[in-house]
Chain A
Amino acid sequence: MKIAIASGKGGTGKTFVATNIFYALLKNNHSVVLVDCDAEAPDSIGFFRTKIENSFDVVQKVPVIDLNSCTYCSKCKDYCNYNAIFILPPIKFIQVIEELCHGCGACSVACTFGAIKEKPVSLGKVNTYILNGKNQLIEACMNIGVMSPVQIIKAAIKEINYKYDIAVLDSPPGTSCPFIHTTAAADFVILVTEPTPFGLSDLKQSVETLKEMNKKFGVIINRAGLGNNDVYKYIKYENIPLLLEIPFDKEIAALYSAGIIVSEYYSEIRKNFYEMTKKIMEQYGNCGD
């Protein structure tokens, strides 16, 4: 079963939840995979002492124009939906703006003069690590300035090739394409929020999106005790399961800040994460794998 950990708002504790679930299951002798899909700011793997097993580039094809064959007909520009081809026929100037190219190949299809070849360009890396010989950790890491992390996220999720009971997908923040591609791969989504107006507003947006996607999901309220009750009222009204509450605690914040898995120190927290995940597996684990 695949579980995605997501939230509209950044910094609500996605990575905290993902790494603790991974650890709690590990300690209870489950085979677990952790995929860090937050390709712009991947932070999950650093919590575990592992060695890199494999690393490869995720590439996209971008057009290269053969100026000897190009007739400056502009058909490639007309086919490009991303404004990645700049052309001035009167002065015979044509340029590919690689940063805008999505690698769809439309320009190659458009060109009837054989003037477009393609070359691979790196978007980022997928790094894989193995823990205790059987648990896989996968990290999506986007190069700076790349248009979209989606291709890297897809490649990272594809890399899951160990047998597992649970694969935990640590999602990027927001509800745009990167969030959709991560949660679409999951059987269940855990939304992590905090009881503040910003947390609630972004939670609502995530909930609406997951409903449209027909996904099953529940909510973890992190830093409980801060803010107000509006988040509780909302999830009660919407009939969304409250999976877990994590109280705001400076001790927890301090441990986490030093790169320590809090479940390693507090068996109570580890137990809570384990029992929550077990319940999710029992209730929702029969769909998919």
Chain B
Amino acid sequence: MEIAVISGKGGTGKSCISAAFATQEKKVLIADCDVDAANLYLLFKPTIEYKEVYIAGYKAVINYERCTNCGKCIDYCRFDSIHKENGKVTISEILCDGCSLCSRICPENAIEMLQNNKSRMFSGSFRNGKMVYGRLAPGEENSGKLVNIVRQKAKQVAEENNLEIVILDGPPGIGCPVISTITGVDKVIIITEPTISGFRDLQRTLEVVKKFNLECCMIINKFDLNKKMSIYISKRCKEIGINVTDYLPFDVQVVEAMVNCKSITEWNPELVISKRLKKIWNDIISKNN
């Protein structure tokens, strides 16, 4: 069973809640699909048993020994990434999309395409099972492909080790990386917070989830920071046919747990928030069995 934890807005508590769920199980697979800001490995300190290079597209580079400065590439580039700087044709590394068109049309064969090969996918073990995660190198395109690779590896490792439960800690936003995270999962857990921004982003997230017709469960995290807003969100969700499954209180202990590299349920199972998380997780698991 694959369960994805997502939220439109960042910082609502996806990773902390994913970690709490993962540490409820003795043997689980957790995959960090937030490849642009992977954090769970900081808590779980997994061993690295397998590593793979991920090629995130290409960058065009000019060989000035061949370049005659004709400027044909400037006319063809649609990303506005080639300009004459001090009279010399120059490609902006930032603006280049890696389409290779300039390199194909260059009459002097003076443009080379270099691979972006700094991103990685890792797989290993942690205290409650196996962990797979990706780390996208800065400046590279988060197209969702690395998320797909992480998920494929997660599936393979889970099968090899007879792990029935796979938890996917998702990225923020509503773009391709999120879609790659939730495609084909059995259940989606949406985390939101009682802020106007949280609610606005939640609506966009629900639109995404609706397209996939997935079973979802919704949690309002830090609900007591604005109880009125929590009630409002819960009402508005009911109107569109979604029930808020649970409410989690704000607790500074969550940060304490993180500083000590523990999930909140490991750190102090007696807290209200820990007990609620345990109950939510048990409900999710038993409903699916």
Taking Cβ atoms with an 8 Å cutoff, the residues of A that contact B are 8-12, 15, 40-41, 43, 46, 79, 81-82, 102-106, 109-110, 142, 144-149, 172-177, 179-181, 184, 196-198, 201-202, 205, 208-209, 212-213, 226-228, 250, 253-254, 256-259
Contacts and interface: CB of A to CB of B under 8 A. Distances in A.
Contacts of B46: none
A148 B198 CA distance: 22
Contacts of A205: 37, 138
Given A148-B175, A173-B172, A254-B225, A109 B101 contact: yes
A253 B229 CA distance: 12
Interface in B245-260: 250, 252, 255, 258-259
B195 A257 contact: yes
A104 B97 contact: yes
A184 B144 CA distance: 23
Interface stretch (B6-14, B159-167, B270-278, B281-289): B6-14
Contact of A257 (B11, B15, B225): B225
A31 B194 CA distance: 32
Contacts of B78: 103-105
Contact of A43 (B9, B57, B175, B208): B9
Given A10-B37, A202-B37, A205-B37, A146 B175 contact: yes
A147 B172 contact: no
B261 to A, nearest CB: 7
Interface string B137-181: 011111110000000000000000000000000001111100100
B94 interface: yes
Interface stretch (B21-29, B120-128, B199-207, B236-244): B199-207
Given A81-B57, A109-B76, A176-B142, A8 B97 contact: no
B142 A177 contact: yes
A173 B10 contact: yes
A40 B42 contact: no
A145 B258 contact: no
B11 A184 contact: no
A43 B176 contact: no
Contact of B196 (A79, A179, A258): A258
A109 B39 CA distance: 43
A205 B119 CA distance: 13
Interface of B: 8-12, 15, 36-37, 39, 42-43, 57-58, 76, 78-79, 94, 97-101, 104-105, 136, 138-144, 172-176, 179, 193-198, 200-201, 204, 207-208, 211, 222, 225-226, 228-229, 250, 252, 255, 258-259, 261
The 8 closest A-B pairs by CB, nearest first: A11-B11, A10-B10, A104-B99, A40-B173, A174-B36, A259-B196, A43-B197, A257-B195
A5 to B, nearest CB: 13
B208 A145 contact: yes
Contacts of B144: 147
A41 B255 contact: no
Contacts of B79: 104
Contacts of A147: 143-144, 175-176
A259 B101 CA distance: 46
Nearest to A10: B10
Nearest to A13: B11
A175 B226 contact: no
Given A105-B76, A177-B140, A205-B138, A145 B11 contact: no
A221 to B, nearest CB: 13
Contacts of B143: 147-148
A52 B201 CA distance: 20
A104 B101 contact: yes
Contacts of B211: 144-145
B37 to A, nearest CB: 5
Contacts of A79: 100-101, 104
B11 A10 contact: yes
A105 B101 contact: yes
Contact of B141 (A15, A40, A176): A176
A224 to B, nearest CB: 12
